[in-house]
A and B are shown apart, each in its own frame.
Chain A
Amino acid sequence: MIEEIGTTEQGELVVNLGPQHPSTHGVLHLVVTLSGETIKKVEPHLGYIHRSIEKMCESLSYRQFIYVTSRMDYLSSHINNHGCALCVEKGMQIEVPPRAKVIRVLMDELTRLASHQLWWGAMAMDVGALTPFFYAFREREAINDIMEETCGARLTMNYMAPGGVAFDLHPDFQRKVKDFLAFFRTKIDEYDELVTDNIIFQRRMEGIGYLSSEDAISYGCTGPTARGSGVSCDIRKSVPYEVYSQVQFEEVLETGGDCFARYNVRMGEMRQSISIIEQLIDNIPGGEFLAKTKAVLKLPKGEFYSKVETARGEFGVYIISEGGTTPYRIKFRSPGFSNLSALDHMARGHKIGDLVAIMGTLDLVIPDIDR
């Protein structure tokens, strides 16, 4: 009977978590080796949602390829599009109008808020509390409505274009964002009340999935995952793009390195995003929202790289151009892939329930990992 249900020779149980599993948030496949409840090894298997986006981009023009990147990390699609637009602008040496710069940062931060809200709900759901998910979606819905009004879509916006943004802001945008921020400031305290302060949640998080700062660097972790281990890696601070150098905000750093530290980093980032939006929302300069560009974009021969800070970490776009209308090669550096690589290191020796909690704090978006 033991052999029938699948064990290794050492009496360890090999369990396939995924590709269809409620906690993997998509089609991630984890081969988990268990000894009782304790995890001996975790092996992520990728490729279930691979769409070869990089190869696809090689046959698309520099205007067209941006929309594809919304389908990678769909929760921070604005920021992905932003990274691509930045890289094209770098190559073409397009000067982005100041209004577009501010709009882009506003949209990025709203996207970050929406992404972190969804993460918060999903995280709570991973550790077994189902109700926070609905509260998170209530706030996220408000952001989506704002996005829908200005960008015309709720998830895959394709709002960033080389040289600025595709449309001007909706006339109601400023009022609605202010209303939303006032609403959300009260709700984020409810988040703390319901989940952060909860003793069960804290016990589930503290001391679980420890990642030292050395390991975080050597695994290439970025974003809140690395900042939870005390690694300062916020692109918005270290290589400020657009108007990030002009706004006051703090890079949220925690030194714990465990799940609760990563959780707190994201909760802190939500508050920082609110403050960034509040600083910018009344100071949107007038003028053009899209720079005048040629009808057909041609990047000069050479290699171009730009990076942005998505909700999950550093997103890099690397374009090799042969001088034509399409890129010769595109490489995306997605944060989820590197963050996932540390999962095995973090999960060893913990229980199955902890594996789910650790995956929750990594905030995995599978299409971002697989591309």
Chain B
Amino acid sequence: MAFLRTYLSDIYHGARSLLKGMKLTGYYFTHRKEIITQQYPDNKAEMKLPERFRGEVVMLHDENNEHACTGCTACELACPNGTIKIITKIETSPDGKKKKALDTFIYHLELCTMCNLCIQACPTDAIKMAQNFEHSVYDRSQLTKNLNKPGSKIREGVE
């Protein structure tokens, strides 16, 4: 008799545990407000990424097309992957002083791991992380970017 009792209670408890799970999925089935799907390409307008999100490295330019990069190569040294390559030139200022300045800031997006070390290393806050994350292109050479805009020069007073 004891055998029969355990046999039947087995069936009862088993069935009960199964119904409990079905109750939960049934709840979600009937409650559409619980749906968490984001319809990605459609919700681009209201999609807001946090300010700190690391998508790609950009160089800040003001309205006069001036940036703050001195070409000190601190970011190049800080980068673990060789993502950044800085080419400098010697500029002569109007009063005749020779000074090292940035010529080209080459950024290999395809090598970048978004570790943020270059941003932390920059002494003049010339570069920062942007929130753009849609980087796919058809040709990988397009991923090698030149961060300083053409014709830009260093802002006055940045050493």
The docked-state distance in angstroms from the alpha carbon of A150 to that of B54 is 11
In contact, A153 and B25 (Cβ under 8 angstroms): no
Check if B101 is an interface residue, CB within 8 A of chain A: no
Q: How many residues of A contact B (CB 8 A)?
A: 30
Stretch at the interface among A9-17, A88-96, A192-200: A192-200
- Of chain A, the residue at the smallest CB distance from B15 is A199
Given contacts A151-B52, A152-B116, contact A193 B78 (CB under 8 A): no
Q: A149-B50, A194-B21, A198-B18 are in contact. Are A67 and B36 (CB under 8 A)?
A: no
| A199 and B13 within 8 A (CB) | yes
Q: In the assembly, what is the distance between CA of A252 and CA of B10, in Å?
A: 29
Judging by beta carbons under 8 Å apart, are A194 and B115 in contact? no
> CA of A103 to CA of B120 in the docked complex: distance in angstroms?
19
B116 and A198 contacting across the interface, CB-CB below 8 Å: no
Whole-angstrom distance between the alpha carbons of A214 and B114 in the complex?
44
Alpha-carbon distance A148/B18, docked complex (angstroms): 37
Given contacts A63-B117, A67-B80, contact A199 B52 (CB under 8 A): no
Q: How many A-B residue pairs have CB under 8 A?
A: 69
Determine which of A60, A153, A166, A202 lies in contact with B80 in the assembled complex, contact meaning CB atoms within 8 Å: A60
Among candidates B18, B21, B23, B53, residue contacting A153 with C-beta atoms closer than 8 Å: B53
Q: Does A288 contact B (CB under 8 A)?
A: no
- A60-B80, A64-B80, A199-B18 known; A148-B50 Cβ under 8 A: yes
Residue B24 CB within 8 A of the other chain: yes
With A60-B80, A152-B129 already in contact, the answer to whether A167 and B52 are too (CB < 8 A) is yes
Whether the Cβ atoms of B116 and A166 lie closer than 8 Å is: yes
Asked if residues A197 and B17 are in contact (CB atoms below 8 Å), the reply is yes
Q: Which residues of B contact A250 (CB under 8 A)?
A: none
A200 and B18 form a contact (CB under 8 A):
yes
Contact with A along B79-99 (1 / 0, CB 8 A): 110000000000000000000
Chain A residue contacts of B18, Cβ below 8 A: 198-200
State in angstroms the CA–CA spacing of A65 and B14 once bound together: 52
Contact of B114 among A64, A149, A153, A202 (CB under 8 A): A153
* Contact status of A150 and B52, CB under 8 A, knowing A60-B80, A198-B17: yes
CA distance A60 to B23 in the complex (A): 54
Question: What is the CA–CA distance of A152 and B131 in the complex, to the nearest angstrom?
Answer: 10
Q: Judge whether A138 and B114 touch: CB under 8 Å.
A: no
Contact of B53 among A67, A148, A161 (CB under 8 A): A148
Closest B residue to A172 using CB positions: B50
CA distance A37 to B116 in the complex (A): 51
Chain B residue contacts of A68, Cβ below 8 A: 80
Q: Which residues of A contact B17 (CB under 8 A)?
A: 197-199, 202
Whose C-beta in chain B lies nearest to the C-beta of A154? B53
User: Least Cβ distance of A307 to chain B in Å?
Assistant: 24
Q: Please name the residue on chain A nearest to B120 by beta carbon.
A: A166
A44-87 CB mask vs B (1 if < 8 Å, else 0) is 00000000000000001001110110000000000000000000
Contact A158 B25 (CB under 8 A): no
Contacts of B79 in A (CB 8 A): 64
- Asked whether B52 lies within 8 Å of A152 as measured between CB atoms, the reply is yes
**In the complex, per-residue mask of A152-172: 1 if CB is within 8 Å of any chain B CB, else 0:** 110010100100001100100
- Which of the listed residues B17, B78, B120 has the most CB atoms from chain A within 10 Å of its own CB? B17
Q: Distance in Å from the Cβ of B149 to the closest Cβ of chain A?
A: 25
Q: In the bound complex, how far is the Cα of B58 from the Cα of A63, in angstroms?
A: 22
Against B, the Cβ 8 Å flags (1 = close, 0 = not) of A300-316 are: 00000000000000000
- B25 touches which one: A131, A152, A167, A199 (CB < 8 A)? A131
Instruction: List, in ascending order, chain B residues with CB within 8 A of A278's CB.
Output: none
What are 27 A-to-B residue pairs whose CB atoms are below 8 Å?
Answer: A60-B80, A63-B117, A64-B79, A67-B115, A149-B52, A150-B52, A151-B52, A152-B54, A152-B116, A156-B113, A156-B115, A158-B115, A158-B116, A158-B117, A161-B120, A166-B116, A193-B23, A194-B21, A194-B24, A194-B25, A195-B21, A197-B21, A198-B17, A198-B21, A199-B14, A199-B17, A200-B18
Binding site for A on B (CB under 8 A): 13-14, 17-18, 20-21, 23-25, 36, 49-50, 52-54, 78-80, 113-117, 120, 129
Binding site for B on A (CB under 8 A): 60, 63-65, 67-68, 131, 138, 141, 148-153, 156, 158, 161, 166-167, 170, 190, 193-195, 197-200, 202
